[in-house]
Structure 1
Amino acid sequence: MTKHKIVIAEDNPTLLLLLKFKLENEGFELLTASDGKEAMALVENQNPDLVLTDIMMPFNDGLEVISHIRNKLKKETPVIIFSTAGQEQMVLKAFELGANDFMPKPFSPEELIVRVKRFLN
């Protein structure tokens, strides 16, 4: 059985490692990016089954990542975004661009796993 491939873009290295560890323990293959530019390259080259992205990141933000997936690559890959509170406008914009789900930070890694599985199983 092939592992589901997930690209995760998060500029907080501690959170990135925690989420990578948790998701790999669930049997997913994780590809990590610490900024939006890396994330867009990974999505283009690796064709993941799911993308997890923070909204606020260096170089290209999560909104640009979603736009790249939907408009340039024309992919329907599920995208779950996360963001700190108080960024309602950006979250609404993310949904307009084609995000599938949103989790406010801080969030429980267990809840994230449940949401990921909902898209991949």
Structure 2
Amino acid sequence: MAKILVIEDEQMMLKALEFRLKKDGHQVLVASNGKEAMTTIESNQLDLILTDIMLPFASGLEIINYSKNILNRPTAIIILSAVGLEKTVLEAFELGADDFITKPFSPNELSVRVKKILLRTKS
């Protein structure tokens, strides 16, 4: 069972992601803004972070940088965003993101990508 942090400020999306990931057998923590997310990242050993780019208090890019470069954690990160701007996507990958899913997406696609990343990071 993987420990996953979902960071999303849109409550309906947050609940849907949490429900799907729990259904897939994961332990799920949630945060609805960047500040809350950073506190959770600091105090937990996570297997995966799913984060939106546009968030209150700290952006998804700041969260990637905080986890990967400031705390130096090996945690896998998947970006979820309707903002498909190439510059933003490239910056996310440069900071250490492992995957990018454009909203809207299917719950099945999310499950497959999460499973694939967790398999890759466990080996």
Do the two structures share a fold, i.e. TM-score over 0.5?
yes
CA deviation digits over 1:73-105, x for unaligned, max 9?
101110000111442211111011010000011
1:7 pairs with one of 5, 12, 31: 5
Q: Which one-letter code corresponds to 1:77 in the other structure?
A: T
CA distance, structure 1, for counterparts of residue 64 and residue 83 of structure 2: 19
2:16 pairs with one of 18, 38, 53: 18
Query: Structure 1 residue 72 and structure 2 residue 73: aligned?
Result: no
C-alpha root-mean-square deviation of aligned residues, in Å? 1.0
| Structure 2, gaps ≥5 residues long | none
> Where has structure 1 moved over 4 Å in runs of 4 or more?
none
* Residue equivalent to 2:30: 32
- TM-score, normalised relative to structure 1: 0.94
Identity %: 51
1:58 pairs with one of 56, 59, 71: 56
Deviation at 1:70, TM superposition (A): 1.1
Q: Which one-letter code corresponds to 1:97 in the other structure?
A: L
